[in-house]
Amino acid sequence: MQDVDGKQRSRQHQRLWILLASILSFSVAFWWLDFRLAASNTQSSKKITTTSIGMEDQLPDAMQRRQTINLAVTGEGPFVPALQKALAVEIKQAGIGDIDLVEAIVHQYQGPVLVVKVAKPGSLWMPLFVTSWVSVQTGYSSSGDTTLLGKTPVYIDNRDGPAMMMYGEYQVNDHSWGLISYPGYYHMLADYLAQQIIATLKDLYRVST
């Protein structure tokens, strides 16, 4: 009888360890692996302001020559590197120039610059459901001047010829259902937002979609 009880306890312990291992494996996968088996309803709004000087029918020389674009993405959290990577991919696919990743926003860059400031995303996570919202400021300058995103009065430096600047604000709201990991979700949002931002940049470069 004791033998039977011992075997039953052993089987119960085995089941418990299997359950705990399954929970641990799922938690690790959820937080570290990139997977998406979900349906999403993603909506966005944007406000874009463009300013140019010295331009007639032609783009500034740096834009015509597809000069390397400095890309500066700032903010906190895992969404920021995901967005930086997605923007780099979209810029390359758009054919508007190579990119140079820069860490800090400075007043002046050598060549065109795309600055992206990410506010900390808000989110609500539940089993099989997530909703989130994120706000982003963007600025582009063909001359490398980042005044448009600063607190000082806006001006355009066109001492080296025609120049163009763009300022944008993007708001993204998403509702997703299904199996989706933490990295997978932020990569999905980053891909969506990067497409919106680079679509605006393609308009500036007069690239047909």
List, for residues 87-146, the tens digit of each pLDDT value.
999 999 998 889 999 987 888 888 899 999 999 878 777 767 888 899 999 999 988 888
Q: How many domains does the chain have?
A: 2
Q: Among the ranges 48-52, 180-184, 189-193, which has the highest mean pLDDT value?
A: 189-193
Closest C-alpha among 172, 140, 121, 1 to residue 63: 140
Residue 100 in domain: yes
Residue 27, domain extent: 1-32
Whether 46 contacts 171, CB under 8 Å: yes
What is the distance between the alpha carbons of residues 83 and 104, in angstroms, rounded to a whole number? 16
Q: Same domain for 112 and 25?
A: no
Q: Same domain for 66 and 144?
A: yes
Whether 84 contacts 57, CB under 8 Å: no
H or E segment and range at residue 175: strand 163-180
Q: Same domain for 59 and 122?
A: yes
Residue 9 in domain: yes
Q: Same domain for 40 and 74?
A: yes
Q: Among the ranges 68-72, 125-129, 152-156, which has the highest mean pLDDT value?
A: 68-72
Q: Same domain for 64 and 138?
A: yes
What is the distance between the alpha carbons of residues 91 and 207, in angstroms, rounded to a whole number? 12
The region of weakest confidence among 27-31, 45-49, 120-124 is 27-31
Would you give the DSSP letter of residue 35? Answer: -
Q: Same domain for 67 and 19?
A: no
Q: Same domain for 100 and 112?
A: yes
Q: Same domain for 5 and 41?
A: no
Residue 209 in domain: no
Give pLDDT, residue 137: 93
**Alpha-helix runs per DSSP H in the chain:** 2-32, 61-64, 79-94, 182-204
Residue 40 in domain: yes
Q: What is the pTM of this model?
A: 0.79
> Which CATH number goes with the domain that contains 174?
3.30.160
Q: Same domain for 187 and 157?
A: yes
Q: Same domain for 93 and 28?
A: no
Structure tokens at 182: 């933490």
pLDDT range class, residue 11, cuts 50, 70, 90: low
- Judged against a pLDDT cut of 90, whether residue 198 lies above it is answered with yes
Q: Same domain for 3 and 70?
A: no
Other C-beta atoms within 10 Å of 36: how many?
16
Q: What Rg, from alpha-carbon coordinates, does the chain have?
A: 24
Residue 188 in domain: yes
Other C-beta atoms within 10 Å of 5: how many?
9
Q: Same domain for 172 and 95?
A: yes
Give pLDDT, residue 38: 66
Residue 15 in domain: yes
